[in-house]
Amino acid sequence: MLELQRTIAEPVTLTGDGLHTGAKTKLTFKPAPENHGVRFVRVDIEGAPEVPALCDHVVDVSRGTTLALDGAKVHTVEHVLAAVAGLQIDNIRVEIDGPEPPVGDGSAKLFVDALAKAGFQQQTEPKDYLVIDRAVQYEDEERQVTIVGLPLDDFRATVMIDYQNPALGSQHTGLFDLDKEFVPEFSTSRTFCFLSEVEELSKQGLIKGGDLDNAVVIQDKELDQSALDELSGKLNVEKTVKMGGNGILNDKALRFKNEPARHKLLDLLGDLALIGAPIKAQILAARPGHKANVEFAKAVRKLYLEKQIVKKYQNVKQGDAVFDIEAIQKILPHRYPFLLIDRVLEVEFDKRVVASKNVSANEPFFAGHFPGRPIMPGVLIIESMAQAGGVLLLNSIPDPTKKLVMFMQINNAKFRKPVVPGDQLRLEIEMGKRRARFVTMFGKAYVGNTVVAEAEFMAALMDRDPSEG
């Protein structure tokens, strides 16, 4: 795998019809600077709005992967992204003058050929690989879908499909060397669908650009010739459509015996590009589809953002701490005598944080609470939980230095046991519902294995006054 980022050497343009919308569009790949990432640009809309290729912006996965942001939408991006990811391109602008990229022959070949023609430009910044160091899994028991990411200092992917159809049977495939295998073994694998799906999609007007030149249609039902003629008329297919003896309409030959499985792996590559970083992992996928791919990508992206947080605030992991006191002071505005957490032990992005507070006899509040019998005020235990929640919330936004966490409500606060000098508080906070800039959190404070306090919080993200530094 490549170690330095890459873009393309020069712009390249292609045209064609979109599979679902039927819209004729012009797509231009353009070079982009280091750390730019992959962005779609709707040049036909005023202001040329950009849509970053990230799973945060996925709005539909019903018949492909659709991205949208601020009113700009791009349908069926997976084959473009598969070409970009398969060729290990990190930074590129994808300018398009319509709602959907050209379908080509239903594979990624159109885009791979264009990018190869443009040539590649090595950049100076290292690639920002996400090395998966713990198992990440998505499972849909009802659909019997499983996708697992396992630790590996390289990239490999294995896909298995089983549609219980005689023309397909059970199929599997594996990509073990992106450099050598992607272009010849996977990029030309075409999209496939079942005849019953084509009927339904044509009724809904969802495959306006579909024909037998850009999809492999698997026969899962029998239609007489008059029904086939009617269907081809709806799809504006000029050639005669016939039931095939090999289980595929018009006896179309597969490019590979397991071409459907290879295409599923191609789609998976494209959807995994929405993580926003190249990954090193072993990916095992059983019966994947766009919905499962995107949900898995979201789980992996959370892991990526967690690692970015740690990398940003702490160069060397010290002991069992994710953030030490110096890192905490970069995140939170609190200072002595009101900084009430000492270490952050765990962070799960947008989900959970575990922090600790060493309760020393030298705490200034013990002088008056209470003389002769020092007890940590319950309100300060609540405050320490709130500060831990602030670490979690501030690290869910792009630039936490520009925001403050303001707590608006504290509900159901309960104090179970006094906290005294020599105790160590372990603060466990979980994020609840989030709406715009408001969020609910649930916190518990432990000494050892005993809950000493708990509460629910509502907080808001507010702009920090620039004069505060």
**For position 211, which CATH number holds?**
3.30.1700.10
In this prediction, residues 244-259 reach a mean pLDDT of 90
Residue 231 lies in a domain: yes
Residue 128, both tokens: 């920002």
Q: How far is CA 29 from the centre of its chain?
A: 22
> How many Cβ atoms from other residues are within 10 Å of residue 455's Cβ?
22
Kindly state whether residues 121 and 144 are assigned to the same domain.
no
Residue 301 lies in a domain: no
Residue 228, both tokens: 């086939």
Q: What is the pLDDT of residues 166-202, one digit of tens each?
A: 767 799 999 999 999 999 999 999 998 888 877 777 6
Residue 131 lies in a domain: no
Q: From 91, 126, 161, give the residue that closes a domain.
A: 126
* 97 closest CA partner among 190, 13, 194, 199: 13
Q: What is the pLDDT of residues 358-369, one digit of tens each?
A: 999 999 999 999
Q: What confidence category does residue 316 fall into, taking pLDDT thresholds of 50, 70 and 90?
A: very low
Kindly state whether residues 31 and 72 are assigned to the same domain.
yes
Q: What confidence category does residue 467 fall into, taking pLDDT thresholds of 50, 70 and 90?
A: low
Residue 298 lies in a domain: no
Kindly state whether residues 445 and 341 are assigned to the same domain.
yes
Residue 300 lies in a domain: no
Kindly state whether residues 95 and 180 are assigned to the same domain.
no
User: Which of 36, 172, 334, 369 is labelled catalytic?
Assistant: 369
Q: Which amino acid is at 420?
A: V
Give the 3-state DSSP-derived string for 312-330, with helices as H, strands as E and coil as C.
HHCCCCCCCCCECHHHHHH
Q: Are 354 and 426 in contact (CB under 8 A)?
A: yes
Sign, Cα dihedral of 179, 183, 186, 192: positive
Catalytic annotation on 290?
yes
User: Which of 20, 57, 79, 290 is labelled catalytic?
Assistant: 290
Q: From 126, 160, 177, give the residue that closes a domain.
A: 126
Kindly state whether residues 109 and 73 are assigned to the same domain.
yes
Instruction: Identify the bridge partners of residue 236 per DSSP, sorted by sequence position.
Output: none
Determine the structural domain holding residue 164 and report its residue range. Answer: 136-289
Sign, Cα dihedral of 234, 239, 241, 244: negative
- Read off the CATH number of the domain in which 440 is found: 3.10.129.10
Q: What is the pLDDT of residues 102-145, one digit of tens each?
A: 999 999 999 999 999 999 999 999 999 999 999 999 999 998 99
Kindly state whether residues 382 and 277 are assigned to the same domain.
no
DSSP annotation string for 359-403: --TT-GGGGTS-TTS----HHHHHHHHHHHHHHHHHTTSS-GGGE
Residue 309 lies in a domain: no
- Read off the CATH number of the domain in which 30 is found: 3.30.230.20
Instruction: Identify the bridge partners of residue 427 per DSSP, sorted by sequence position.
Output: 355, 445
Kindly state whether residues 116 and 151 are assigned to the same domain.
no
Kindly state whether residues 119 and 141 are assigned to the same domain.
no
- As a whole number of angstroms, the distance between CA 186 and CA 256 comes to 9
Q: From 108, 126, 144, give the residue that closes a domain.
A: 126
Kindly state whether residues 147 and 190 are assigned to the same domain.
yes
Q: What confidence category does residue 242 fall into, taking pLDDT thresholds of 50, 70 and 90?
A: confident
Catalytic annotation on 263?
no
Kindly state whether residues 92 and 111 are assigned to the same domain.
yes
Kindly state whether residues 318 and 463 are assigned to the same domain.
yes
Residue 302 lies in a domain: no
Q: What confidence category does residue 267 fall into, taking pLDDT thresholds of 50, 70 and 90?
A: very high
Sign, Cα dihedral of 339, 340, 345, 351: negative
Q: Looking at the 3D structure of the chain, how many domains does it have?
A: 3
Kindly state whether residues 119 and 163 are assigned to the same domain.
no
* 292 closest CA partner among 102, 161, 429, 417: 161
Q: How far is CA 12 from the centre of its chain?
A: 27
- As a whole number of angstroms, the distance between CA 382 and CA 459 comes to 13
In this prediction, residues 335-347 reach a mean pLDDT of 93
Q: What is the pLDDT of residues 66-113, one digit of tens each?
A: 999 988 999 999 999 999 999 999 999 999 999 999 999 999 999 999
Residue 190 lies in a domain: yes
